[in-house]
Amino acid sequence: MKKYMHYVATIVGVVLLGIGFYMVKAILDPQGIFITLPYVCIGVGSGCFGGGLGEIIQKRAIGKDPKLAKKMEIDRTDERNVAIANQSKAKAYDMMVFIFGALMLTYALMNVDTKVMLLLVFSYLFVVGYGIYFRIKFDKQM
């Protein structure tokens, strides 16, 4: 079943893209959720289509060249590459904390809607809490 998931994702992406574009053109006076739903369908459909098709192309390219498949597997599991990826994620997280904080302050000074501010604050606190949780977990393991 896992073998076909990329094909399913590609098909679902095309269907969602089609539904989204149809809704953009067909609904002349959108109300409520139909203001944003077509664009959400287009965005999710684009992601599913691109991800699925990319995996299909990658599998076909690797299937034709076993040396390339072995090299890609070594690059993916190499300790140095894993350490570099983890360090870059840590730097991006550190920067994200400050950027989210500045963005929340800016939105608060602009008197943005309370619902938007609460969503931003809760997502910020969730990400920071997630980081703290794993920091404690990894400290206990090491």
Phi, psi of 111, deg, nearest 5:
55, 50
Query: How many domains are there within the chain?
Result: 2
Domain range for 104: 79-142
Tell me, yes or no, whether 6 and 73 share the same domain. Answer: yes
Q: Can you give the pLDDT at residue 3?
A: 78
Q: Can you give the pLDDT at residue 56?
A: 92
Q: 24 and 63 in contact (C-beta within 8 Å)?
A: no
Give the span between the Cα atoms of 23 and 16, in whole angstroms.
Answer: 10
Q: Can you give the pLDDT at residue 60?
A: 87
Tell me, yes or no, whether 43 and 19 share the same domain. Answer: yes
Residue 110 gets which letter from DSSP?
Answer: T
Q: Can you give the pLDDT at residue 47?
A: 95
Q: Please give the model's pTM, rounded to 2 decimal places.
A: 0.62
Q: 101 and 117 in contact (C-beta within 8 Å)?
A: no
* Domain final residue, candidates 38, 57, 77: 77
Q: Can you give the pLDDT at residue 138?
A: 86
DSSP code string of 4-65: GHHHHHHHHHHHHHHHHHHHHHH-SS--GGGGTHHHHHHHHHHHHHHHHHHHHHHHHHHHH-
Tell me, yes or no, whether 95 and 138 share the same domain. Answer: yes
Model confidence at 1: pLDDT above 80: no
**pLDDT tens digits for range 50-103:** 999 999 998 888 888 888 888 888 888 888 888 898 899 999 999 999 999 999
Tell me, yes or no, whether 42 and 10 share the same domain. Answer: yes
In a 10 Å sphere around its CB, with 0-12 CB exposed, 13-18 middle and 19+ buried, how is residue 100 labelled? middle
Q: How confident is the model at residue 118 (pLDDT cuts 50, 70, 90)?
A: very high
Q: How many residues does this entry show for the chain?
A: 142
| Nearest Cα to Cα of residue 4 among 64, 59, 76 | 59
